[in-house]
Amino acid sequence: MSPDPLFDLTDRVVVITGASSGIGASAARCYAERGARVVLAARRKERLDELAAELPGSLPVPCDVGDPAACQDLVDRTLAEHGRIDVLVNNAGTHHIGPAEDESVETFRGVVDVNLNAVFALTRAAARPMLDAGRGSVITVASMFGLVGSGQVPQASYAASKGAVVNLTRELGAQWARRGVRVNAIAPAFFSTEMTTGMFSDEGAERWMRRQTPMGRAGELAELHGALVYLAADASSYVTGTTLSVDGGWTAV
Ligand SMILES: NC(=O)c1ccc[n+]([C@@H]2O[C@H](COP(=O)([O-])OP(=O)(O)OC[C@H]3O[C@@H](n4cnc5c(N)ncnc54)[C@H](OP(=O)(O)O)[C@@H]3O)[C@@H](O)[C@H]2O)c1
């Protein structure tokens, strides 16, 4: 059966950062299963090679997104291999948990560098060929903590950087709206990954998370696929500058 054209991703060239684990690896599998040609970026080369071996036609590109030259190299290698970029998924991210009064300015800067500055550097590099082609979709993995504060899980730099990418999404979406390049974000709640090991291995914290979530549970990684496919595909052709919450209702209350 041929795929519904609204959600068809056959042969789309999709660059995914943070593809070495968690949400990024899950997104890469999801896009590859739908026939996309996935480009896998992160620092841990061996992890990328393992995933690439699983996904025929994928291209692993070791890349530290904190380095703007490496971001440009990722774009150049994708263009050399595939001739275009249809979708960029800005998923690489980091965090620091601890009270703001104890968080050093250097730590704060380090988180903002990966979660915000790198998103700008890579989006800017990837958008140029997209704008030349007059089509493209950028999806940034923000967080519900880009829409609301956390407090109970103190993370000033994370909340600041995720809030900033939500508004960067609005601004870039508006700037490129007439040029065929759409820019959107998703805002997940808690999903079990390396980043959230502390939360999921602490019974009290996990109970708190379930109590706070209207659906009463964490998300499953596959529950992000609907939003990731929708924003990448033609189904969202009139959607730009928006952030789609995938949070079991966390930001609804
Ligand atoms: N899990 C959740 O509950 C949750 C909720 C909301 C939002 N998010 C967001 O989802 C995204 C993915 O996180 P995750 O939960 O899947 O955690 P994860 O498993 O720890 O994945 C983080 C990914 O980012 C990559 N990364 C970090 N720094 C990088 C850098 N400088 N250059 C290139 N890649 C880098 C890591 O790869 P390398 O170490 O190999 O470089 C890794 O693949 C993040 O943006 C996170 O903020 C997660």
Each residue of 68-112: pLDDT tens digit? 999 999 999 999 999 999 999 999 999 999 999 999 999 999 999
As given in the structure block, the two tokens for residue 24 are 């990024």
Spatial distance between the Cα atoms of 49 and 46, rounded to a whole number of angstroms = 5
Check residue 2 and give its pLDDT: 75
Mutation pick for ligand 1 pocket among 195, 206, 217, 225 (CB with most ligand atoms within 8 Å): 195
Check residue 105 and give its pLDDT: 98
Rounded distance from Cα 167 to ligand 1 centre (Å): 20
Rounded distance from Cα 18 to ligand 1 centre (Å): 5
* Assigned CATH for 5-243: 3.40.50.720
Check residue 3 and give its pLDDT: 84
Which residue positions in the chain have pLDDT lower than 70?
1
The single residue of 31, 158, 230, 238 carrying the catalytic annotation is: 158
Q: What is the largest CA-CA distance in the chain?
A: 57
Check residue 69 and give its pLDDT: 98
Please say if 158 is a catalytic residue. yes
Whether residue 158 contacts residue 164, with contact meaning beta carbons closer than 8 Å, is answered with no
Check residue 1 and give its pLDDT: 66
Q: Which helix (H) or strand (E) holds 147?
A: none
Whether residue 20 contacts residue 189, with contact meaning beta carbons closer than 8 Å, is answered with no
Outline where DSSP puts E strands in 18-119. 37-42, 59-62, 87-90
Surface-to-core class of residue 111, CB atoms within 10 Å of its CB (0-12 exposed, 13-18 middle, 19+ buried): buried
Spatial distance between the Cα atoms of 31 and 29, rounded to a whole number of angstroms = 6
Domain range annotation of the chain? 5-243
Check residue 180 and give its pLDDT: 98
**Helices 156-175 and 118-133: angle between axes, nearest 10 degrees:** 20
Pocket of ligand 1 (CB under 6 A): 17-18, 20-24, 42-44, 47, 63-66, 91-94, 114, 141, 143, 188, 190-191, 193-196
